[in-house]
Amino acid sequence: MPSAGMADITYDNFQEIDGPMLPFTTALPGMRNDWNPEDEVIAGAVGCHEQQLSGETASSEEEGEAEDKNCEMTWKKSQRLADGLMRFSIDLLREVQLESNRTNVILSPFSIALALSHLALGAANQTEKHLLQAMHLESVPCLHHMLGTLCRRLAESTLSLASRLYLQKGFEVKEKFLEDSEKFYEAKPMTLSGISEDDLIAINKWVKEATNGQIPTFLQQLPENTVMLLLNAIHFHGFWRSQFDANFTGPDVFHLDNEFVVPVEMMKAQKYSLSWFTLESQDIQVAKFPFKSNMSFVVIVPNQYTWNNSYVLENLPYEQLCKLFPREVPTTVKIPKIKLDYQLELNKVLSQMGLQELFTSPNLQKIADEPLFVSSIQHQSALELKEDGVEASAATSVAISRSVSAFSLDRPFIFVIFEDETGIPLFIGSVQNPNPNAAPQIKEPRDSPRDINMALPSAVPVNKSPSKCSSENHLYPPRKQSLDQLD
């Protein structure tokens, strides 16, 4: 991704998310993997482990209090982490959109990164190196330690994080991996009973509790010969700092493109305090809706009804976003009420990002002496936008012009939920159609949105299955086993 300089901009003057759970599943070679792609995944994980400074791949071990002290989070380190995770987020969204065929996409790159980092804890040599490179975190010092510190901080806000490690009876996991999993990812080991139905009930119960009931049935079945399952979950419930009055919510339309619209319930406000600007070089508008907590919902919307969002993702000066936002001004705002779920197996996406070996012959010798591989990585997340908030499982010049009086999310847009202090992206996605169950309608001729605005406004399961990879932020390792990852 090109490095961003100053952006060419024009200043124009409650959500809940359940993130993905990535399961890593490991299985033994030659064994069948029955991981069900329909199994749900929810976002999150807690954990940390150390890495070397500069660009070298770090050891997955942190020893002694002295090293822990050296791994204390600083502003510079947190910026490296945020930059890497933002690059990873954009890579993920771009690749997933290629597979999604213009559907809505909701991901928790933070959850997926936590799951992959947890896996890196048990990886060695090229496998570990490739995992860190895919996440753009190879130059982040003390990576696991920093992720753990970050997770603990986030857990003090409106973000809920939880991890758990399930092991098959008799499967010998290296003690160091278990210790580091709990130390950095707070993933306490639990033993599977061996009775599939009982284990399934216990796992789904834990997921339901960890996600505040947003994902009541995470798994439909356990893959055969599962030897290890790594689960993590994230739940975010953020309240708008400036809430919308439900009395002003009413019927409106969302423009799918230049020809079709769908009916939606649109939240509206006349004098909403909003920070936003127009990025003229890409013909887009960017706005930041702050939560009462230290997080923000950033949206990117085109001035036209159709756009090349892949180009926007590749050229967005994300490193400068926090510097580009002007002071808040009273703005007429329209934003659709949305409740969406998204589920995807990440095997193909991650393979396109350079992680093919996870699903064939990775080096996971820090987990067990037996050869393992990732059998499946699945991800599921949910987003709800409503009046009180959100809930959820190169160089250019600056041009400043008069404020426009309105900002409207009535056409396809990209969103990112950031942690403000560090700039860590927790969720990212694109909304193509907030009401996919409604039949598209041919719209009446009208001016372009630009003219209108100017006139107004991640679990990892590990099992003994073949080399198929599925992610639900769970991990299954088999003897050459397959590893399933949950987010």
Fold of 9-486: Antithrombin; Chain I, domain 2 (3.30.497)
- Per-residue pLDDT for 24 more than 70? no
Handedness of CA 344, 349, 350, 355 (dihedral sign): positive
Please give the angle made by the CA atoms of 39, 44 and 45, to the nearest 5 degrees. Answer: 115
- Per-residue pLDDT for 4 more than 70? no
**Minimum mean pLDDT range among 20-34, 109-123, 308-322, 411-425:** 20-34
Q: pTM for the complete prediction? A: 0.77
Q: Quick one: the chain helix, strand, coil %, rounded to 5?
A: 25, 30, 45
**Minimum mean pLDDT range among 110-119, 121-130, 381-390:** 381-390
CA gap 86, 109 in Å, rounded: 8
- Per-residue pLDDT for 261 more than 80? yes
- Per-residue pLDDT for 452 more than 60? no
Residue 474's pLDDT is 47
Residue 294's pLDDT is 86
- Per-residue pLDDT for 29 more than 70? no
CA gap 36, 5 in Å, rounded: 45
- Work out the average pLDDT over 33-42: 30
Residue 208's pLDDT is 82
Domain parsing of the chain, residue ranges: 9-486
Model confidence pLDDT, tens digit, residues 264-287: 999 999 889 999 998 888 889 999
H or E, element range at 292: none
| Higher-scoring residue by pLDDT: 417, 74 | 417
Cβ atoms 375, 467 nearer than 8 A? yes
- Per-residue pLDDT for 101 more than 50? yes
Q: Is 487 helix (H, G, I), strand (E, B) or coil?
A: coil
CA gap 80, 138 in Å, rounded: 10
Cβ atoms 106, 340 nearer than 8 A? yes
- Work out the average pLDDT over 445-471: 39
- Per-residue pLDDT for 346 more than 90? no
Average pLDDT, rounded, for the chain: 75
Residue 67's pLDDT is 55
- Per-residue pLDDT for 250 more than 70? yes
| Higher-scoring residue by pLDDT: 47, 426 | 426
Nearest of 276, 275, 278, 274 to residue 7 by alpha carbon: 278
Residue 196's pLDDT is 84
CA gap 386, 475 in Å, rounded: 34
| Higher-scoring residue by pLDDT: 75, 117 | 117
